[in-house]
Structures are given as C-alpha cells and as structure tokens.
Structure 1
Amino acid sequence: MGKPTGFKEYARETYHERAPKLRILDWNEFNEPLEPKHLRTQGARCMDCGIPFCHTGELIAGMAAGCPVHNLIPEWNDLVYHDQWHEALDRLHKTNNFPEFTGRVCPAPCEGSCTLGITSPPVAIKTIEKSIIERGFEEGWVKANPPRERTGKTVAVIGSGPAGLACAAQLNSAGHLVTVFERADRIGGLLMYGIPQMKLEKDIIDRRVNLLAEEGVKFVTNCEVGKTIPAETLKNDFDAIVICTGSTRPRDLNIPGRELKGIHYAMEFLHANTKSLLDSELKDGQYISAKGKHVIVIGGGDTGNDCLGTSVRHGCKSLVNFEIVPQPPEERAANNPWPQWPKTFKVDYGHAEGAAVFGRDPREFSIETVEFIGDGNGNLKALKTVLVDWTKPVAGGPPFSKVPGSEKEWPADLVFLALGFLGPEHPVAEQLGVKIREARGAMSWFEADYGKYQTSVPNVFAAGDCRRGQSLIVWAINEGREAARECDRFLMGTTKLP
C-alpha cells in the first residue's frame, strides 16, 4: 500500500491550524487544508505492513483500537497516493456514511493503532479521510442516490445524531420509508448542538441532511417522542422503530454549594451557545456568556475541551480545567502497548487557545473539587479543591487519597460540569415497554445485544450511546449501520445491508 519506502522519506503532516489568538476571534473551523501533492505524500507513508490494525475496530483494555466502522484505510491511502481520488471516495463510502463528520470530530483511534506508530508518528489518516470527502463534494461526486424500489415498509428512527442518521441512511437505501424524529429545532443531535461550530461547522451537517432528504428520508423536528407525541403512536403507525436518542443524562457533582447560581452542565452551555450563534450570531443573548468571568471547567475529554474553546471566544477573565486523573505521560507507558489507544499527554485546540490567551495550559491534574462557595446572595464566587494521590488508594473507597494540607480556593463565576453521562432519558423506552439495563451509580441503558440491537419489544431496536453508553462518533455510526441491517432483516426476513 502507498509507497514501500514512503514512511522513511516523508514526515507526518496534518491539516494546518490557524494561530490560536487569531482563530478565537471567530467561530469558523480553524483547520486549513493541505495541497493535493502533500496529501499524496501522506498517503505514501502508509506501509504495506500486512497487519493493518488501523481498521479493526476492536475493544482492547476497554478502549477502541482501530476504526469501529472498519474503514478500508490502507486501500484509500494507496488510492490517494496514486491520485485516484474518485476511487478513494468510493472505498471510503463503503463503510462510512459520514466521513465529513468523522474526519473532523473523531479522535482517530485508527491512528493510535497504525503500525507505523510503533516507532514513528502514525499516518495522517484523519487528515486524508477529510480531504477525500471534501474533494468529493467539491468535484460534484457526492450526489443523492435514492433507492430504485420501495418495500412499502415504514421505520421510525428516534434521534438524529450520528447513530440515527447512519441508521436512517442505511434503511432508506434498502428501500424502506424512513422518518427521523428529532426533539430539537435542527437535525443533527449531538453533532448539531453538542459540538461547537469551530469544530464542526453546521452547514456541513445541513449539506448531508439535505442529501438524505433528497434520497427520501423524512425529517420531523421539534418533536420529542414520549412528550410531543406518545411513543404508542409510533408503534401503531410504523412497522419498526429504532431508538437512537443518545446518552443525555449528565453526571452531577453533589457537593456542598451545588445549588448556587453559576454552576451549569457542559451541554447546557454548549447547546445554548450554538443555538444562539445559528439563530442570531449571539445577538439574542439566549446563551450563558463567559465574557469577563472566572471560568472553571470540571472534567476533561472532548466536552471539557469544547467548553474551554467556547469560553475563550466569549472573552472569559480566567480559565482553569480540573481533571481528577494524573497527567498522562508524554510517551506510551509499559502497560499501554500498541495497538491500544495511546494514553499519552495531548494538547487539543481548547488547551492551546487557553495557553495562548492566559500564558499556560489551563489544565490542573490530580485535583478534586470538594465545595462550591457562594457570595451570600446565592451566587457562586469560588470553589475549594484538594489534591489527590493515586499511589495511595483508600481501602474500601476511591482509588486515590486526599493530600493533607493541599486545600485551595479558586475564584469562580461560572463552573461547567463535563463529567460524562449516566445514560439515556427513559420516557421513550418506558412508553414502548423496552427493558432498561441498570448499573451502578444510577447508570442505565436500553437493553439490546450488540450485533442484534433488538430490544425486549420485537419490532423496537436500539443503537448508539443509548444502548452502549457514552462513546465515540465512530461507534455510533457503527451501531446505527448494524441496527439498520438487523431491522431490515426483521422486516424482510433477509438483508443485503452490510
């Protein structure tokens, strides 16, 4: 694949980013494309390794290793190197309905499992993927492709995030009449309102949704199944239902002072900001403004990072990000071998922007928030933390202990909780009679086996984060596609969907 000696001749090169202090002045995507000649050399770095873990999509040590949608990565890397872009696009679309999304927001477990990454920087897979699909749109190769025949079967898909859209696309391609129900005012779910504009511009979503509509998928917005309309209505009106509502119940931080004004869930902050930005370019004031505020984000990951980038663009006064875990090492640890996801120290866009504005990386590691402090009028004014030591677990308690004398008070006007999610909201499942799988710590998901996706109700399926828990966009697309296959099998007795 590629050029046999390419990995020795060419250095890794990814999309160039605009300087942090410039890009925080707007809400546009900050990656700038590479020229085709540079993309060809990046494709040339893909080795004829014979062990392409990049597209395996396995779970190793509880983490994704390789691509969960099983992208044919070595094949389209080779095609790009040989300047066969249309063929590369065909190979990309065979496994991935939305490479324009994954090429922007996927954390690229494929690169973590790239064989070249054992000794050198891995192949720039994500950059190549995004470049293929964007060239496809530019050249007019990506067109609506409605099915030639209709089966007459009807399917309701609840939720329009990556799982729901992938499921709808596949079922529609099989000839079924698909209706997607979305409770928000725009289609896209987490893609639309959970991911900021500078990371995924929303016209990119609209471009794909418009194609799906041309292909025959029907979209219904401002309709929350279970509230706006009873779930029973869908059981009566459709031959099958696929639940793709995501994992939307946020994890809270129940410590003293939680009731104070100024403490918000991360998604509350991100959703309102994007909606106001799209509705009025933030002129309507219908969002939580961080301008001139001391901002603290509790929790790392993509959501915490997105809160950092959004707060900086608002013009916050100070910015800190707490992570209870220790700072990761610069290189793989001995207990984190290839092809596992590399648990190494990474600087994402929000971290870089915070450092550019305030002179230091905003992250504080091995730190726990123990109390929110008010101003006497019900408003947040500070919070108290303590350092934690992960080398000294508490018997019968947490895997860390508090460091004596490490208490510290931090000024805070706004706190955003980015602590993950406990699972989906239950009304839809309860009204449909779907069995809910409970777990520790108030966590729960809709019960349906991976690979089958059928719930306790025969004609109701579940896929994505509402079934597996909070996860990656590529797992959501994987499950949406596979649930469509099993739903098609249920409706027709057999299936040709992958």
Structure 2
Amino acid sequence: MGKIGGFKEFERTDENNIAVEDRVINYNEFTIQLPKDKIKEQGSRCMDCGIPFCHSACPLGNLIPDFNDMVHQEEWQSALEILQSTNNFPEFTGRLCPAPCEKSCVLGIIEAPVAIENIEKNIIERGFAEGWIKPQTPAKRTGKTVAVIGSGPAGLAAAQQLNRAGHTVTVFERDNAIGGLLRYGIPNFKLEKGIIDRRVKILELEGITFKTNVNVGVNFSVEQLNTFDSIVLCGGATERRSLPTKGIETKGVVQAMDFLTQQTKVLYGENIDNQIKATGKDVIVIGGGDTGSDCVGTSNRHGAKSVTNFEIMPKPPVGRSETTPWPYWPLQLKTSSSHEEGCERNWLINTKEFIANDKGELVGLKTVEVAWKITPGQRPELVEKEGSEKIWPCDLALLALGFTGPEKTLSEQLGLETDMRSNYKASNYQTNKPNIFTAGDMRRGQSLIVWAISEGREAAREVDLYLMGSTNLPTKGSGDLPSL
C-alpha cells in the first residue's frame, strides 16, 4: 500500500489555516487546500503495515489503505469508489470527524500518522469538482415505504441506503431545513451549509422525499406513520444537560446549542428576535468538548470582550497518556482552531453560583478549584479546594455540557422501551415494535458523526432484511456495493 518507504521520504503535511485576524471577521471555512501533488505524497506515506488498525478504529470500517494507495497511484476515481463503498458522506466526516483512524495508525507509533481525514476530504471534493458524483437511482422499486424520522447523519445515511435498496423513503425533519445537528449544531466555519445542500440535492434526485417543519408526535401525529411499512427513528440525543447550580435561571445563562443554532439561522437570513450575542461581553464557556470549542469560535466572531473556558476535568497531557496507549483513543490535550483564535482555558474548575444584578442579569460567576479523589473500586469523588473561591466577571455563560439522551415524545407515544439512560432500546436496531427501528444517538447516546453514519447504514440493512426477507445492502466495512 502506498509507496514502499514513502513514510520515510515524506513528512506529514496538514492543511494550513487562514490567519486568525482574517478568518474571525466572517463565518466561512478557513482551511487552505493542499495541492494535488502534496495529497499524493500523503497517500504515499501509508505503509504496508500488515494489520491496518485504522480499519478497526473506524466505526464505518473504511478501507483506508486501499484508497490511500489509489491516491498514491493518482487513481482518484478508484479512490472515490472505495471511499464511497463504506461512507455515504465523506464530505461531512472529512471536515468533522475526530479521526480515530489516525490515532490507531501503525505509523503513529513512531512518528506522525498518515493524514487520513484530509485525504478523505480531498477525494470526495475532487469527485464533486470532476462531476464524478452522480445520483444513484435503483433499477426497480420494491413497493415498500419507509419513514425516517430525523435528518442528521444517521437519518440521511439510513435513507440513502434504503432508497438504494429500492424502497420509497420519506425523511421527516422538525426544523425548517435538512441536516439535523450538521445544520444547526455545527458552526459554518467548520461546515458551510452549502455542503449539506449539495448532498441533499443528490439525495432528492435519487428519489428520497424530504418534509421539513414536521415534528412527529407534535404537529404530525404518530398515527399518520401507520401508512408506512417501516419506521426508522434517528432523532438524536437532544436533551441538553444543565447544572444544579444556584442562579442557573439567571438571564445570560444560555444553553450552547441555542447560541449556535441562532447564529447559523441568522447567517442564512432568518430573523431571530433578541438573538443571543457575545458582542462586547465577558463570555465564559462551561464545558471543554467540541461544542464548547464551537462556542469559543462563535463568540470571537461576535466580537466578545473576553472568552474563558471552564473544564471540570484535569488538563490532559500534551502527549498520549499512559492509560490510553496506542492503538486506543488517546487521553491527550486537544487545542482546536477556535482555541487558537483567543481563549483562556481553565481546568479543575467548578461553578458554584451564577451571580445576577438587581435586574436579574448575569454579571459574574463564583467558582471553586477542585480535585478528583480516586479510590480503587469506587466512583471518583469531586473534592473542593478550601479557600479557592473566585468571582469571575461574566455577562454571558454558555453551557456546553453535552446531552443526556433522546427526548421521550416518540418513545412514549409509540410505546417503545428505553434503557436506564433513556436511549431507545433495540436489538439489531429493531425496537420492541417489529416495524420500528432506531439508529444513531437516539439508540447509542451522544457520539461521533462516524458512528451516526455507521448506525444509519446498519439499521437500513436490518430494515431491508425485515421488509424483504433478504438484503443486498453491505455489512459494515465490507466495501460491497448494493445491487441497483
């Protein structure tokens, strides 16, 4: 695979970014694409490692050494065919995936791993630029109808796979545009929404019907789903985690997803009354994950006076932790492009109180430093450091604390079983109602985009098997293309 000894000849080269002062004045993507010869070199670094651990680390089972080799040989169309055989939407994962494949790359044991994610992104963008990506319509229809609830990556993947199997698919989305979390949870500077629209147009040409502003169980009764032969629930984990903290109801304490969603809607021409703005404010983002990072980047683009990030966990090491050796996903410090744009980061900080003025407006946060007491066989205990209380000026506090699970609306109205975490129970993606399936965050809890696409694909295969008694849809990582 790749060029023999290529990893010795070529160093890893990543995309550069537009300078901070130039990119924070707008919401556009800011990466600078590598020239084709450099992408070829990156593909050439893929070593003939014998056992490609990147396969097992990728939830989609992408055939990574295979498409890397095709890039090395400049067989770009072949690379695209291999990539698309396991991944419905490389243009999304090539921008948003945290690349667990790279963390398990064998080359990563001794030096920088192969730049798999960027190679993937370049393959799919080359495909669009060259006109190689065309709608794939089935040769015949089965006469079976399927409703997919939710148009995030899991729902879109399930819909495309089921459509390719010949079923008539309708996707219901409660928001006013398709994409789910991709649309309104991911800032434009990480994923411009034209990328989603480009793919949705292809899906429509393939024969999938999309219905927006349809909130099943609210403005569209679940009884209306009885006309479908099968239903796939891909609504995501949308119950947001809050804090049991004094003053949590103070004006200026805002859920991160509300902040991010509003900004994207305003960017695309929607009128939002009393938009949550960070302009000229002292902003504190509570939560150190990707959503917190997105809030940092958006606040800087608003023109915040200051941006501070709190994380209750310890600061991770710069290199791999000994507790997560290769090929495991590493416990390791992640510095995002948003952090680089301006942010004071703080670890082992717990918020004790949101402080309001006499108008009920947020003016500060009271915090305390903490440590984690580890006792073998017991849950870690959070211990406050005596005398470490501090008041921070703050006009806007953004809660980026993740999600606790899916909403109960559909499970209650459809009579579906849930687990102790409120996720929808399923065996092989099939719920306790035989014609109803579920996939993505709604089934497994908050997770990665690659898991969402993988789950959508796997659920589609089980639906096809249920409807037809057999299926030609591919299994995970097989690379087999469905019969059209």
Equivalent residue number for residue 357 of structure 1: none
Is 1:494 matched with 2:484? no
- Indicate conservation of the 8 Å contact 1:448/1:456, yes or no: yes
Structure 1 pair 395/174, CA: closer, same or farther in 2 (3 Å)? closer
Is 1:401 matched with 2:377? no
Specify the code of the residue in structure 2 equivalent to 1:138.
A
Deviation for aligned residue 1:331: 1.2
Structure 1 pair 81/184, CA: closer, same or farther in 2 (3 Å)? same
- Indicate conservation of the 8 Å contact 1:182/1:220, yes or no: yes
Specify the code of the residue in structure 2 equivalent to 1:400.
L
Structure 1 pair 41/394, CA: closer, same or farther in 2 (3 Å)? closer
State the identity as a percent. Answer: 57
Deviations 1:25-62 (A, max 9, x none): 11100111110000010001111001111121xxxxxx
Structure 2 SS opposite 1:12: coil
Is 1:458 matched with 2:458? no
| Counterpart selection for 2:331 from 340, 343, 353 | 343
CA distance in 1, matches of 2:351, 2:379: 17
Deviations 1:88-144 (A, max 9, x none): 000000000000000001111111111111110111001000000000000000011
Structure 1 pair 460/239, CA: closer, same or farther in 2 (3 Å)? same
Is 1:424 matched with 2:396? no
Is 1:369 matched with 2:359? no
Gaps of 5+ in 2: 475-484
Deviation for aligned residue 1:362: 2.1
CA distance in 2, matches of 1:137, 1:362: 39
TM-score by length of 2: 0.96
1:52-451 correspondence runs (5 A): 52-56=52-56, 66-234=57-225, 236-279=226-269, 287-354=275-342, 361-391=343-373, 398-439=380-421, 444-449=422-427
Deviation for aligned residue 1:14: 1.3
TM-score by length of 1: 0.93
Specify the code of the residue in structure 1 equivalent to 2:448.
L
Structure 1 pair 493/414, CA: closer, same or farther in 2 (3 Å)? same
Spell out structure 1 runs of 4+ moving beyond 3 A. Answer: 283-286, 391-398
Deviation for aligned residue 1:395: 11
Structure 1 SS opposite 2:369: strand
Deviation for aligned residue 1:269: 0.7
CA distance in 2, matches of 1:79, 1:397: 48
Gaps of 5+ in 1: 57-65, 355-360
Equivalent residue number for residue 61 of structure 1: none
CA distance in 1, matches of 2:445, 2:210: 25
Deviation for aligned residue 1:393: 6.5
CA distance in 2, matches of 1:220, 1:73: 35
Deviation for aligned residue 1:438: 2.0
Specify the code of the residue in structure 2 equivalent to 1:270.
L
- Indicate conservation of the 8 Å contact 2:372/2:380, yes or no: no
Deviation for aligned residue 1:287: 2.6
CA distance in 1, matches of 2:460, 2:46: 32
CA distance in 1, matches of 2:382, 2:13: 39
CA distance in 2, matches of 1:397, 1:319: 32
- Indicate conservation of the 8 Å contact 1:272/1:286, yes or no: no
- Indicate conservation of the 8 Å contact 1:112/1:338, yes or no: yes
- Indicate conservation of the 8 Å contact 1:265/1:416, yes or no: yes
Structure 1 pair 144/396, CA: closer, same or farther in 2 (3 Å)? closer
CA distance in 2, matches of 1:216, 1:287: 37
Structure 1 pair 233/284, CA: closer, same or farther in 2 (3 Å)? closer
CA distance in 2, matches of 1:324, 1:257: 19
CA distance in 2, matches of 1:484, 1:36: 35
